[in-house]
Amino acid sequence: MATVKVSGMTCDGCAAAVKRAVEKAAPGARATVSLGRGEVEIEGATDLAAAKAAIVAAGFGVAE
Ligand SMILES: [Cu+2]
């Protein structure tokens, strides 16, 4: 499991968008977004770089 810090999420819509982006970019992965902590936990076989790129493409920021 990996935890990625995500910036720019302000509402449940943002959280849902991040979840969708990660799960689309990394098939088989399961993403659990915490809006309060500003992060997403990613479980499953995951191309983390692709997941981060998808988050950025969706309009949010990721921390290393
Ligand atoms: Cu939002």
Burial zone of 32 (CB within 10 Å; 0-12 exposed, 13-18 middle, 19+ buried): middle
**Ligand 1 centroid – CA 36 distance (Å):** 12
**Ligand 1 centroid – CA 60 distance (Å):** 10
What is the pLDDT averaged over residues 41-54?
91
Cα separation, 49 vs 13, whole angstroms: 23
Looking at the domain that runs over 2-62, which CATH code has it been given?
3.30.70.100
Check pLDDT > 80 for residue 64: no
The whole-chain average pLDDT of the chain stands at 94
Cα separation, 12 vs 43, whole angstroms: 20
**Ligand 1 centroid – CA 32 distance (Å):** 16
**Ligand 1 centroid – CA 16 distance (Å):** 8
Task: List the shell of residues around ion ligand 1, using CB closer than 5 Å.
Answer: 10-11, 13-14
